[in-house]
Amino acid sequence: MVTVRGIVLLAHGSRDPLWRQPIERVAAHMREHDAQVLVACAYLELTEPDLAAATAQLLERGAGSIRVVPMFLGIGQHVRDDLPRLVAELKVRYPQIRLTLQPAIGEDARMIELMAQIALS
């Protein structure tokens, strides 16, 4: 049996509705390149849905495992403290699924290289 993978792109959030467009474009790009993966966007504050709601949506759509991808460049309190706590709470709520928290994208060497290339071009 193949487990349907879910991915939550987790960003900070903003009162400005235009702020969420880049995250939603990343999600759309992912869907275009891998129709087998369920993708949802979630936000820590000021924007809906939050992580719990996005996780519930993916479970309703059949996800058997969910990876939370923090779309943060810097490693501040949200990434260090808030995200691990939120994911731990979801693991208690949904013990039947494999729920993992990926390091923030700003920690990935590929992202650092890409940003450097863009800045140098």
Residues marked as catalytic? 12
Buried b (16+ CB within 10 A) or exposed e, 22-40: ebeebbeebeeeeeeebbb
- Cα separation, 109 vs 48, in Å, equals 30
- Cα separation, 37 vs 31, in Å, equals 7
- Name residues whose C-beta falls within 8 Å of residue 27's C-beta, 6 or more positions apart in sequence: 9, 39, 40, 41
Say whether 11 sits in a helix, a strand or coil: strand
Strand partners, 25: none
